[in-house]
Structure 1
Amino acid sequence: MKFMRGKFMLLVLLMFSLVFAGCSSNSNNETANKTESANQGSENNTGSTAKAVWFSTVDFWNPPSTWSTDPNTVQGAITEKTGLTFEFNIPAQDGETKLNLMLVSSGQDLPDLLTITNDVLGKKLIEAGKVWDLDEFLKKYDPESHLLTDFPADVKQTIVDRDGGFYAYPSHIDSEDARKVYPPSGQFYIDTVDYATNNGIVVNKNLLNEAGLTLDDIKTEKGLLAAYQKIKDLNLKVNGASVIPLLVDGKSYQEPTLGFLQDTFGAMPVDKDGNYRDRLLAPETKEALEFLYKASKSGYFEPGQMTVDNAAVKADMASGRVFTFIGNSANTSFQLNDYWTSSGPILSDKGTTPVLAKNKRAGGGWMHTFISKTTKEPEKLAKFLSFMTSKEGMLLHIYGFEGIHYNFDANGHIIKTEQGIKDASEYMTTGVSAFWPFHNTTFSYSMQQAPTAETDLQAVTANNVNSAYGKAKDTVIYNSAALELPADLFPADSEFANDELQIKTYKEAQIAKIIMSNDAAEFNKNYEDMITQLKKLGIEALDQERNNYIQEKSKQYGVVIKGVNS
């Protein structure tokens, strides 16, 4: 059970580093690579070419299904440098289940490379002795590897704390130590690191102007609800369809939509004394729920929004008839249209302070890539790991070929060509920007020319919207490093885990019931019923266990966190 803010930030970082081309696309077809047999025997600087199997549980990651060995392609250039081609095994669903079955199957060798996102599954691989410690692996098979001397120390420490050793290479590295080597190329990237967050309110400037409103008019809870009523009264239409005053984040609304409202009304997972407390028990959460109740009761959003999939959310956003969206902006593709902006925080009528969790500790990666101890090509895999993480390798697999896909400006920063942008958007066939497990956010933010409205309007639009909440003078940013709870804090067969599951199931149903209350009296009753039942189900005992963990981590990290409001 990870603190969700970290997860959302990883999506922000991925969105920028892939130039909005990666996460949102893609069929979930299982890919089985068929390397071109005509090139199997080609020679390179590591000897004859060999094939390795790359397994991933990330079903929406779709690298090229056919590995070309033509040196004029990204894949072929990688082969030329490392002597490896790859067959991808990416199940369309249940990848983690399939990997678990491999682990328990006696006599079955694991694939050569394993890319996963589940920390608990990673620990199983390590505890089973199936994967290499990367320091040990490189010292044995590539002792000259740069990773033995220049890997960011703060990132390595995070991985060691999590896994007990340096077992997994992390994707999307972003840390202070990494920025000492690769500093941001401009303020755009500084804002992205320091202030950006996916959860927020996204506002349609066209409709704002048409309604005779300004951003200042909707910066308070009272003002925003009044604006919704005005939009409704004006009966505005776009292409003959009525304007939607508020769009929530589909069937996942309880995390990003309610989560942002909890943030902006000041709910934190610790109380005034710094003790862990589930945000559902924070008084500010009642105000967040009441906002959604009022919006639903007044017809500012349709209850059916809380049941639709992400495709429906994106379609509504693309229609131009949404006045505001509250939720995870990465779920919307809003940046495709430049009329979107953000008013930042929604200031509470009760005078509480907006808060934003930012994990200031180095991350351990979104995707974690392991090397199997049963690989038949350890030397080549070691060279592959070293090359893909080198400056030369990252320039190749993230950006393509100089002169074709990118050029350097006078300051040594990358400017993508039209071909580069096109091929990155078609990474599933071109290979340009396709190797997400080895993307390095700090490297990209340093090497790329900082976007401007003239060079990359989509990126600027996204950054302006995603940074508005964090940059607002009213928002208090706190270091949430110690609040990152491990997924296996409660063992799967424990009473705590059972209680946690019951609470999750109950709260999802009860929150919807609260929002759909018929009147204020019913709202208050449903809310009080939720608090009572949560306590009966053991939420306070769970919070005490979580508190023990975060107090230990607070001492370890030297971070003191106390509630700003309640």
Structure 2
Amino acid sequence: MTRFKSMKSLAVLSLTCMFALAGCSGNNSNSQGNVSANKGTNASASQNTGDSGDTQSTDKAVWFSSVSFWTPPMTWSTDPNTVQGAITEKTGLAFDFNIPAQDADTKLSLMLVSSAALPDVMTITNDVLAKKLIQAGKVWDLQEFLTKYDPQSHLLTDFPADIKQVITERDGGWYAYPSHMGSEDARKQYPPSDPYYEDGVNYRSNGAIMVNEKLLNEAGLKLEDIQTEEGLLAAYKKIKEMDLKVDGAPVIPLQVDGKGYQDTTLADLQNMFGVMPVDKDGVYRDRLLAPETKHALSFLNQAMNAGYIESGQLTMDTTAVKSAVMSGRVFSFIGNTANTGFSDQDFWVSPGPILSSEGTKPVMGKSLKAGGGWMQTYIAKSTKYPEKIARWLSFMSSDEGLRLHYYGFEGSDYTLNEKGLVVQTDAGRQASADFAKTGVFAFWPFHHIAWHDSKTQAPTEKTGADGLTAMQVQTAFGKSPETVLYDNSPLSLPADFIASGSKLFNDQEQIKVYREAQISKIVMAKDQNAFNALYEELISKIKQLGMEAIDAKINEQVQKQAKDLGVTLTGVNS
């Protein structure tokens, strides 16, 4: 039994019931087994992959995505020795990608209200926009779509029942194919191949502090020296005084997560210092109002004034953050580790949570309820190629299709071990790293966590997205005996819970703009007196703008959902 599951006896987590995100029945109709895609072959697939019918002629569909940083190969190759070409060979489809660099949701919304044809396939993350597409009758219910155009599809019998229920409750039907599935039902179908992956399910999170072990050793420090707030600040001071350099450039004691630091770096410090979105009575409150948030802000302010953080970091984009981290001159990073490229280097480690000098317990919320995925893929009713898109949807989600677009081609990109588990070759790892060119590992909307963890050999190398380095850094917080884990599933609100255009919605928008500007002022405050004044101004102003009324409204829904789920949420600190 994992520590997470054994927490039922604690006040913080009482259960009767992701990014961890298939039916419950053991009757899996996906008959692909260990079929693999091989370069240059033309073997026919079973009907469950949707490979029946005429795929000799190739049709080109449009695939829209609102995820601007998703970068699949923009020129679709029809060469069967490429991942894209193998997909075309199986389905008769090629794609033109439409991935706007900015304002993608707005652009799709304009298409929806204009006479312009919608893209054939739409992968988005905005639940409100998805609801507009559904209410306008522009996208298919997948049960109806597959029954009509690919009645032999494995998705009609093995799609995870718990995830389908979440999507149906959210959207009013099974309209979306979700990415990164990893629910209880998905894991019944695809059990983890190794305890290594079970740790990922139970404890993994992108949000973490990671430390450059080379610089740690150079400074004569050990990981246990920096597990407390006092110890970490002392390490920063020592690094600064030693004037350590890498390739002639000074070492950066602390790198924050660029212009998005408030949603990542600050949020992770809030977790380390024990901020929960409920108080000791279980009443919802915005995390900004928790006393521990002031302490998290104070930590950043101290680091800024001591020169441990460079002020320019607060406006850096993700590319610049990644470049700084990959340069080797960053001693520590706090924030979304997925933004850094750290998994390609073998010298990153994490001490777990940094323990607050105020003695509060670090907290980590994870949902024990099935999630509806991150990227949601919808099929337009206006598509001219419904049969081929149905076959494509079935193929991409089949064992054969997943193995193809996750890992490429057997023999060159991966081999199978004695247990039939995938082992990537060096060429395959390089192809994955170059996914924007090769297509290997590029099709994020179809990433399936449970399938991956079931079909893949646990890594023995340090580098790579699932390598030993990445797993240690991203599970250290959750696995720490100091961390209190709690089920945060009651905190997921319906997308339109506070209606657009309402007074509460407008108040939320005003608070968002104000708080972003004020928090940066607080972090850069010149001394303690200025810090205190700016913090008090923040709390006073957001209350004046209606924060407490918004929290009261959200609390009603949270309490209802907690009751429905059988979850008791109780703050463990303030």
Please confirm whether the aligned pair reaches a TM-score higher than 0.5, indicating the same fold: yes
Mapping of 1:110-125 within 5 angstroms?
A: 110-125=118-133
Tell me which residue corresponds to 1:63: 72
How far apart, CA to CA, are the structure 2 residues paired with 1:238 and 1:525?
A: 39
Bigger mean CA deviation after superposition, 321-330 or 165-174: 321-330
1:97 aligns with 2:106: yes
Mapping of 1:234-249 within 5 angstroms?
A: 234-249=242-257
Mapping of 1:196-345 within 5 angstroms?
A: 196-345=204-353
Mapping of 1:326-405 within 5 angstroms?
A: 326-405=334-413
Tell me which residue corresponds to 1:78: 87
Amino acid at match of 1:236: L
**Residue 483 of structure 1, aligned match among 491, 501, 504:** 491
How far apart, CA to CA, are the structure 2 residues paired with 1:398 and 1:164?
A: 31
1:54/1:114 contact within 8 Å kept: yes
Tell me which residue corresponds to 2:183: 175
Change in CA separation of 1:149 and 1:468 when aligned onto 2, cut-off 3 Å: same
Tell me which residue corresponds to 1:32: none
Shift of 1:277: 0.4
Shift of 1:454: 6.5
Amino acid at match of 1:76: G
- Give the secondary structure class of the aligned counterpart of 1:231: helix
2:209/2:333 contact within 8 Å kept: yes
2:176/2:378 contact within 8 Å kept: yes
Change in CA separation of 1:529 and 1:92 when aligned onto 2, cut-off 3 Å: closer
Shift of 1:413: 0.5
- Give the secondary structure class of the aligned counterpart of 1:52: strand
Mapping of 1:102-141 within 5 angstroms?
A: 102-106=111-115, 108-141=116-149
2:345/2:463 contact within 8 Å kept: no
How far apart, CA to CA, are the structure 2 residues paired with 1:212 and 1:430?
A: 42
Amino acid at match of 2:110: L
How far apart, CA to CA, are the structure 1 residues paired with 2:258 and 2:561?
A: 34
How far apart, CA to CA, are the structure 1 residues paired with 2:212 and 2:253?
A: 10
How far apart, CA to CA, are the structure 2 residues paired with 1:283 and 1:465?
A: 28
1:557 aligns with 2:557: no
Change in CA separation of 1:407 and 1:329 when aligned onto 2, cut-off 3 Å: same
Tell me which residue corresponds to 2:53: 46
How far apart, CA to CA, are the structure 2 residues paired with 1:337 and 1:253?
A: 23
Post-superposition Cα deviations, 1:129-188, rounded to whole Å, max 9, x if no partner, equal 011110111112222211111110111111112111100101111111101111112222
**Residue 470 of structure 2, aligned match among 434, 455, 462:** 462
Change in CA separation of 1:243 and 1:430 when aligned onto 2, cut-off 3 Å: closer
- Give the secondary structure class of the aligned counterpart of 2:96: strand
Amino acid at match of 1:265: F
How far apart, CA to CA, are the structure 1 residues paired with 2:498 and 2:282?
A: 21
Bigger mean CA deviation after superposition, 255-264 or 327-336: 327-336
Amino acid at match of 1:64: P
Amino acid at match of 1:89: N
Post-superposition Cα deviations, 1:167-214, rounded to whole Å, max 9, x if no partner, equal 010111111110111111222211211111111211121222222221
- Give the secondary structure class of the aligned counterpart of 1:325: strand
Structure 1, gaps ≥5 residues long: 1-8, 14-43
Provide the alpha-carbon RMSD of the alignment. 2.0
Amino acid at match of 1:490: I
Mapping of 1:495-510 within 5 angstroms?
A: 495-510=503-518
Of the two structures, which has the highest relative contact order with CA contacts closer than 8 Å and spacing of 6 or more? Answer: 2
Post-superposition Cα deviations, 1:363-384, rounded to whole Å, max 9, x if no partner, equal 2111111111122222222222
Amino acid at match of 2:552: Q
1:338/1:457 contact within 8 Å kept: no
1:45/1:80 contact within 8 Å kept: no
How far apart, CA to CA, are the structure 2 residues paired with 1:450 and 1:415?
A: 9
How far apart, CA to CA, are the structure 2 residues paired with 1:241 and 1:79?
A: 49
2:522/2:534 contact within 8 Å kept: yes
- Give the secondary structure class of the aligned counterpart of 1:144: coil
How far apart, CA to CA, are the structure 2 residues paired with 1:309 and 1:71?
A: 37
How far apart, CA to CA, are the structure 2 residues paired with 1:57 and 1:79?
A: 23
Change in CA separation of 1:548 and 1:207 when aligned onto 2, cut-off 3 Å: same
Shift of 1:312: 2.6
Amino acid at match of 2:330: V
Post-superposition Cα deviations, 1:65-99, rounded to whole Å, max 9, x if no partner, equal 34333433323332332232333333333322221
Tell me which residue corresponds to 2:24: none
1:46/1:81 contact within 8 Å kept: no
- Give the secondary structure class of the aligned counterpart of 1:120: helix
How far apart, CA to CA, are the structure 2 residues paired with 1:170 and 1:121?
A: 15
How far apart, CA to CA, are the structure 1 residues paired with 2:133 and 2:254?
A: 45
- Give the secondary structure class of the aligned counterpart of 1:180: helix
Bigger mean CA deviation after superposition, 442-451 or 314-323: 314-323
Shift of 1:318: 2.2
1:113/1:372 contact within 8 Å kept: yes
How far apart, CA to CA, are the structure 1 residues paired with 2:73 and 2:258?
A: 31
Amino acid at match of 2:471: N
Mapping of 1:27-38 within 5 angstroms?
A: none
1:123/1:163 contact within 8 Å kept: yes
1:265/1:287 contact within 8 Å kept: yes
How far apart, CA to CA, are the structure 2 residues paired with 1:502 and 1:193?
A: 37
Post-superposition Cα deviations, 1:464-484, rounded to whole Å, max 9, x if no partner, equal 111111111000111111112
Change in CA separation of 1:90 and 1:301 when aligned onto 2, cut-off 3 Å: closer
Post-superposition Cα deviations, 1:263-297, rounded to whole Å, max 9, x if no partner, equal 01101011111111001110111111111122222
2:239/2:253 contact within 8 Å kept: yes
1:46/1:83 contact within 8 Å kept: no
Tell me which residue corresponds to 1:447: 455
How far apart, CA to CA, are the structure 2 residues paired with 1:354 and 1:438?
A: 34
1:268/1:282 contact within 8 Å kept: yes
1:45/1:83 contact within 8 Å kept: no
How far apart, CA to CA, are the structure 2 residues paired with 1:90 and 1:523?
A: 42
Change in CA separation of 1:319 and 1:69 when aligned onto 2, cut-off 3 Å: closer
**Identical-residue share of aligned pairs (%):** 60
